Amino acid sequence: MTILDKILAEKEKEVAQLKATYQQGQHQVGFERRSLYDSFMHADKMGIIAEIKRASPSKGTINEAVNPAEQAKHYEENGAGVISVLTDTPFFKGTMADLKAVRKAVKLPILNKDFIIDEIQIDRAKDYGASVILLIAAALPKERLQQLFNYTRSYDLDVLFEIHNEKELAVAKEIGANIIGINNRNLKTFEVDLATTERLAKDIDTTRTLVISESGFSTKEEVERIKQSGVRGILVGETMMRSDDLKKTFDELRVPLS
């Protein structure tokens, strides 16, 4: 059983619980459209999706004691374009309360980074103030991904559609994803390789599709390398959470796109 299989098995239980208890609108913070696509497609610097990541299966504890609202404010002040909040509890120690706190603290679009397998999680993400949700190609069959994609778009939320190989890229195209996240981390082995983005991005029309490279970024050289592939945004978790000088970290990673 891979780690993704284990996470998805837990998600099934969480969704069953949610269906029994969650009332739509219960946590509504007032939806206001904040578009990831528009802001990153028209920027002149590499867009940064800065993540609130307390822990992970590959690294264990990263920063469990973080104050998500304070951390998000620092991200915003230093140049983040989007805040990603990992809300899975069993494997990443995040919560929906983290997302709500971040939504109240900043004006940026917020990505609800979770393992979405059911519409009810999308209802909840919207209620809590997310403007982007993650769909992982490896998690579900194409037909189910299409349903969840359509459902999310009907709410006017953005979908970051995550892929890791050619087969998943074909699915992203068939589904009509306009924001594709290429995860450099192999979720079976945890190996991180930026060549994954280089290999897959060359088969994407990056003038129309926003390509985000995910995982493994810590240096300016890595971002300079990846920008040659037409990538307009990067998703950065651990480096942000461990940084003791966020201004320096953002200044390094927000390279000009021209």
Q: Assess 53 for contact with ligand LARABZUK (CB under 6 A).
A: yes
Could you tell me the two tokens for 37? 């696509």
User: Using CA atoms in the order 243, 244, 247, 251, what is the torsion angle rounded to 10 degrees?
Assistant: -50
Q: Assess 111 for contact with ligand LARABZUK (CB under 6 A).
A: no
Q: Are 171 and 137 in contact (CB under 8 A)?
A: yes
Amino acid at 125: A
Residue 167: CB partners within 8 Å, gap ≥ 6? none
> Which residue, 51, 31, 47, 43, is CA-closest to 157?
31
Q: Assess 88 for contact with ligand LARABZUK (CB under 6 A).
A: no
Choose one: 50-58, 70-78, 95-103, 202-210; the region binding ligand LARABZUK (CB under 6 A): 50-58
- Report the site for ligand LARABZUK in 2-21 (rule: CB under 6 A): 3
Q: How far is the CB of 185 from ligand LARABZUK (least distance, A)?
A: 6
Q: Output the CA angle 80-86-88, nearest 5 degrees.
A: 175
Q: How many CA atoms lie within 13 A of 5 on its CB side?
A: 3
To the query of whether residue 51 is one of the catalytic residues in this protein, the response is yes
Q: Are 213 and 197 in contact (CB under 8 A)?
A: yes
Could you tell me the two tokens for 195? 């060549």
Q: Assess 112 for contact with ligand LARABZUK (CB under 6 A).
A: no
> Which residue, 180, 202, 183, is CA-closest to 191?
183
- Report the site for ligand LARABZUK in 187-226 (rule: CB under 6 A): 187, 190, 214-217
To the query of whether residue 131 is one of the catalytic residues in this protein, the response is no
To the query of whether residue 167 is one of the catalytic residues in this protein, the response is no
Closest residue to ligand LARABZUK, judged by C-beta, is: 237
To the query of whether residue 222 is one of the catalytic residues in this protein, the response is no
Q: How many residues contact ligand LARABZUK, by CB under 6 A?
A: 18
The catalytically annotated residue of 56, 84, 131, 183 is 183
Is 29 or 192 the residue whose CB approaches ligand LARABZUK more closely?
192
Amino acid at 154: S
To the query of whether residue 93 is one of the catalytic residues in this protein, the response is no
Q: Which positions lie near ligand LARABZUK, rule CB under 6 A? A: 3, 51, 53, 56-58, 183, 187, 190, 214-217, 235-239
What residues act catalytically?
51, 53, 113, 162, 183, 214-215
